[in-house]
Amino acid sequence: MPDGSEFWSGLDSTDRIAVKAVCAIVPGYGPVGKEFGTLVPTDGILGGIRPARSQTGESDLPVSFLKDKLGIESVATTHATAAVARAAVAGDLDWTEAAARIPRPDTNPDVLAMITRAMDTALSRHEEASGSRLARDRSIAGHIHFGAVTDNAASFALPAGRRAVGCHKPGLPVDIMLSGCAGLLVALRHARFLLRHTAARHDPDAYVLITAASDLMPFAHARGRAPATHRADINSWLFQAIFGEGAGAVVVGHADGSGHDWLVEDVRWRTVADDWRVNLAGGSTPHMTIRAREVSSTFRGHVPGVARQGLSALGLSTFDDLHRLCIHESNPNLVSGVVGELGVPPGLVHSISSHVGTLAGVSAFSLLDEALRTHQQTPGARDSVVCALIGETCHAVIAGHLALRHITR
């Protein structure tokens, strides 16, 4: 098995990078999310797709299937994606018909607006915590964006969003990375290079923006009626039924001991499967295919191990010593199974996937957003966070951990 591991440790705090702030926006979830979308019940999604119990197609699966089997009750969906999906269902169109007949915008305006808002909010949180206003345009050292789906229109719109929040720097590119649920691990490596091996190393205020998005607009038509050839194939219809949309931003900078930094103590990952779990099926009915059984077995086989490795990297012996354990939210039942195997205390693992579905790479942003916001800077407070992530990366699967420790004054 090829080993894609990468890590850093054993550096003094002046050499390390730190997570300064995080923001995630999930349509339909929370006060901000409701501006951009809604939570669509999974029974309604299955009512539109109409998956069959068997190849004969004589009876539909119960609409409660996803809630019963995976624990997902609803899926976060932007207004733009929901409009296309509703048109497909209302017209009783199968995927091919819906893709051909229903007009769609060149790119998802709600996702782009969420990315812009997330960038601005994360930067504002960093400024508030540090007590000073950033020279956003001068000190930005890089912008890394990743997602499982990208398109040219969205790529060209990202610099416009950056300009809108005051961090436009002429000639600074957006480094676009094709990666799924564990993409934050790889993005942090790139951010570290930019902060330590470019002119940014001389600017104590230098920062790198890492953004991510989960955009279902390219597959909105697939919430319509499944073609007869796909109705009994859960691998063909599961993606659009359980994946939610969202956007996130992380501000990464030099560790400065100011009392609000989350020091990146360790990042490590490795390739755990040299084969895909989620892939694009093209042709006249473009949709994403999931190898459902393999996703489950790979998750159960590797996530507990990377969680333990993250704990060990912090020099801790029990999960009770953490503020949060952030487990990638593939689905609530998989997360619950890992929590049980690890013996993690109740309340240590935050989970919203029963309400919003799986958010791909945005899941890590959502979990970190909650972890950092709920941390209390009080004597005796637990000051460490571990993220245990797994996901598709270029027709292979990587799994790894991010270990953070809060810096106190």
**Are residues 138 and 263 part of one domain?**
no
- The mean-pLDDT minimum among 3-7, 89-93, 177-181 falls in 3-7
Residue 394 within any structural domain of the chain: yes
| CATH code, 393 | 3.40.47.10
Q: What is the pLDDT of residue 4?
A: 56
Strands 17-25 and 37-41: unpaired
- Can you tell me the distance from the alpha carbon of 377 to that of 169, in angstroms, rounded to the nearest whole number? 35
Per the structure, the complete domain to which residue 177 belongs is given by 109-212
Can you tell me the mean pLDDT for 118-142? 95
The SS3 assignment for 13 reads coil
Return the closest-CA partner of residue 71 out of 404, 332, 309, 402: 332
Q: What is the pLDDT of residue 284?
A: 62
Q: What is the pLDDT of residue 194?
A: 96
Burial 345-368 (b: 16+ CB within 10 A, else e): eeebbbbbbbbbbbbbbbbbbbbb
**Are residues 126 and 206 part of one domain?**
yes
What are the tens digits of pLDDT across the range 24-67? 999 999 999 999 999 999 999 999 999 998 765 566 899 999 99
* Percentage of residues of the chain with pLDDT beyond 90: 79
With 50 as the cut, is the pLDDT of residue 404 above it? yes
Residue 152's pLDDT band, with cuts at 50, 70 and 90, is low
Q: What is the pLDDT of residue 357?
A: 98
What are the tens digits of pLDDT across the range 296-313? 999 999 999 999 999 999
What are the tens digits of pLDDT across the range 180-210? 899 999 999 999 999 999 999 999 999 999 9
- Can you tell me the distance from the alpha carbon of 232 to that of 32, in angstroms, rounded to the nearest whole number? 37
Q: What is the pLDDT of residue 381?
A: 81
**Are residues 266 and 195 part of one domain?**
no
CA distances from 388 to 184, 191, 365 (A): 11, 19, 12
CA distances from 361 to 104, 223, 247, 264 (A): 24, 21, 9, 19
**Are residues 191 and 61 part of one domain?**
no
What are the tokens at 149?
């789906």
Which is more confidently placed, 400 or 152? 400
Can you tell me the mean pLDDT for 90-94? 96
Q: What is the pLDDT of residue 30?
A: 92
* Terminal C-alpha separation, the chain: 43
**Are residues 195 and 142 part of one domain?**
yes
Count other Cβ atoms within 10 Å, centred on residue 173: 10
**Are residues 400 and 297 part of one domain?**
yes
Strands, DSSP E only, in 150-225?
Answer: 174-178, 207-214
With 50 as the cut, is the pLDDT of residue 10 above it? no
Residue 312 within any structural domain of the chain: yes
For the chain, the average pLDDT equals 91
Backbone angles phi, psi at 287, to 5 degrees: -160, 165
**Are residues 398 and 262 part of one domain?**
yes
**Are residues 127 and 37 part of one domain?**
no
What are the tens digits of pLDDT across the range 216-226? 999 999 999 99
**C-beta separation of 27 from 37 below 8 A:** yes
- Can you tell me the distance from the alpha carbon of 216 to that of 78, in angstroms, rounded to the nearest whole number? 9
**Are residues 158 and 145 part of one domain?**
yes
**C-beta separation of 408 from 401 below 8 A:** no
Can you tell me the mean pLDDT for 327-338? 97
Domains held by the chain: number: 3
- The mean-pLDDT minimum among 14-23, 202-211, 392-401 falls in 14-23
With 70 as the cut, is the pLDDT of residue 131 above it? yes
Can you tell me the mean pLDDT for 312-320? 96
Residue 21 within any structural domain of the chain: no
